[in-house]
A and B are shown apart, each in its own frame.
Chain A
Amino acid sequence: MTLTVDIRHRLGDFSIQAAFESAGRLTALFGPSGSGKTTLINIIGGLIRPREGRVVANGRTLVDTANRIYVPAYRRRVGYVFQDARLFPHLSVRSNLNYGRRFAGRGVGTADFNAVVALLDIGHLLLRAPASLSGGEKQRVAIGRALLSNPHLMLMDEPLASLDDARKAEILPYIERLRDEARVPIVYVSHSVAEVTRLATDIAVLDRGRLAAFGPTADILARLDLLSGGEAGEGGTVLEMQLREQDRAFAMSVLRSAAGEIRTPQVDLPLGSRLRVRLRARDVMIATERPQGISALNILSGTVDTLARVSENAVDVRLDCNGQPVIARITRLSAERLRLAAGQQVFAVVKTVSVETAGAAPLPREDA
């Protein structure tokens, strides 16, 4: 499955121009508000007709202005989940879920009503009216409704933006299951690094209507220059790790990756679960000798790969920890004092890690 987007469009003063090709299971359109994410996803979904360009999903040309092809939204077979669920107020939850199925019909469908209802845990809501649902429930029903229309492509426009943290935590696992089980590629609009780290396989970064970067999640998040505003400090390294040990006495978990072991407050998942861990660059310190008598638990050893000055006073140090890149943002003063240079053996002291689960499906055990 690939999604090819190459469009140019103008809306009043705002112009958008983006070209990328993604084969990922979940492609995030990422950027601050006003960067054109929603415009772009609406173009893919057929709600905005671009002035020029092409959109091809899974070999199906949806838009090709050069060849005068324009597939209207209702023939695109995209499942669109809007920020504001947009459930039909005059229909029950069950009728909302079934809405798209009537039109998808004609033997092309494979989405199974009961399977989708079970996936999203909405069986107990079927007879209710949308107005009586909580925000999180509405959004789950909206995801189910989109899935049951048998889409070739799922589009999600900040589906969590209007929810509080508890509701977000409630929905995120369902989106992960969708990404891992439903086999429908997803395009996901977001401005949150945490969401994107946890969900995305690929990221297209948009900035004022232009594509600033496109690539696999870990590569994009390691480019700290791409993040701005409130998310500027959120950049860093994404490590794919595996849950190896539970230390019940201290309520900690031990995770392992090529870079080394990391201890985090207990993660309630079975041993062997895959996890994504984000090390913010600002939360990583550098030491030239293995530190003693320090409260930080997580110390990774590695060699300095590159040093990049990012401002008057800050330097990004890129380390190679046993083949796994780790980035630390330190002051230029510290870098001078430590006389850091490429190839030098150092230790990365990680103050905090944020654990973003990446699906509970355990990997095959190495020792099995």
Chain B
Amino acid sequence: MDWLTLSPEEWIAVRLSLKVALWATFASMPVGLAIAWLLARREFWGKSLLNGIIHLPLVLPPVVTGYLLLLSFGRKGPAGAFLEQHFGIVFSFRWTGAALACAVMGFPLMVRAMRLSIEAVDRRLEAAASTLGAAPVLVFLTVTLPLALPGVIAGMILTFARAMGEFGATITFVSNIPGETQTLPSAIYTFTQVPGGDAGAMRLTLVALVISLVALLVSEAVARRASRAVAA
């Protein structure tokens, strides 16, 4: 069983991956929810364009998305320079950049799941809430969100799982620096590039399998509980 024991470096990659994926999921959640609501419930100019832009990472090669992130959020990129100057936030070659890349790649999945679940909420219930005195924000928080919760959670789990597996955009944007930007997939990739790395690659693969499986089971359980609460 000795070969199953992770080396300190491998542990670092696993922990970093979890941190990056959790940040990517939770930081993008409020934005994803807001955009999902806009797309589900409002008509506005440029709606299809917004929808298209959000879905781009799904169809673009991940390397292209990573390179675009490098151009815009790199130290010399317009967004990157602005954020560093005004907020001291640096993305390039940091774990934060990996989280950003993962969030962007997972965003279409998140918005799609949330949008569908919001669209499924009966608008007549929202109208009833407004006649009872609830302002639009409160209608969303007390009626729409609770009823859409299974989809919202599903969207977050999808994003988390996507983030755990993100490779192309991350390695292009923030490279493969052990301890900083070397996530699980990058570490596995590195192992496969060196002689005698098979055992390490296998160990990390097992870890990735377990994490993905657990994420899926948790999402199933949470969604089932949420939909039961709604149906009851």
Contact = CB atoms under 8 A, between A and B. Distances in A.
Interface of A: 45-47, 72-80, 82, 84, 86, 88-90, 99-100, 102-104, 129, 131, 145-146, 149, 155
Nearest to B229: A90
A74 B133 contact: yes
A149 B231 contact: no
A82 B231 contact: no
A58 B128 CA distance: 22
B147 A82 contact: no
Interface stretch (B135-143, B171-179, B204-212): B135-143
Given A90-B147, A129-B232, A103 B134 contact: yes
Contacts of B127: 47, 73, 86
A131 B232 contact: yes
A90 B232 CA distance: 7
Contact of A88 (B125, B130, B136, B232): B125
B138 to A, nearest CB: 7
Contacts of A77: 133
Contacts of B139: 74
B231 A131 contact: yes
30 contacts: A72-B130, A73-B130, A73-B131, A74-B131, A74-B133, A74-B135, A74-B136, A74-B139, A75-B133, A78-B131, A79-B131, A80-B132, A82-B124, A84-B124, A86-B124, A86-B125, A88-B128, A88-B143, A89-B125, A89-B230, A90-B230, A99-B134, A103-B134, A103-B135, A129-B232, A131-B231, A131-B232, A146-B131, A146-B132, A149-B133
Contacts of B135: 74, 103
Given A46-B131, A79-B131, 19 more contacts: A45-B131, A47-B131, A72-B130, A73-B127, A73-B130, A74-B139, A75-B133, A76-B131, A78-B131, A79-B132, A80-B131, A88-B128, A89-B147, A100-B133, A103-B132, A146-B132, A149-B132, A149-B133, A155-B131
B113 to A, nearest CB: 19
B229 to A, nearest CB: 6
Nearest to A92: B232
Interface string B130-174: 111111101100110011000000000000000000000000000
A103 B131 contact: no
A79 B133 CA distance: 9
A77 B124 CA distance: 18
Contacts of A79: 131-132
B130 A86 contact: no
A99 B143 CA distance: 10
B129 interface: yes
Interface string B167-210: 00000000000000000000000000000000000000000000
Nearest to B132: A100
B129 A99 contact: yes
A74 B130 contact: yes
B132 A145 contact: yes
Nearest to B135: A74
Which interface residue of B124, B125, B128, B229 has the most chain A CB atoms within 10 A?
Answer: B128
Contact of A89 (B132, B134, B142, B231): B231
Contacts of A45: 131
Contacts of B133: 74-75, 77, 100, 102-104, 149
A149 B129 CA distance: 11
A172 B105 CA distance: 58
A155 B131 CA distance: 10
A142 B148 CA distance: 22
Which interface residue of A45, A72, A79, A89 has the most chain B CB atoms within 10 A?
Answer: A89
A250 B23 CA distance: 82
B146 A90 contact: yes
Nearest to A78: B131
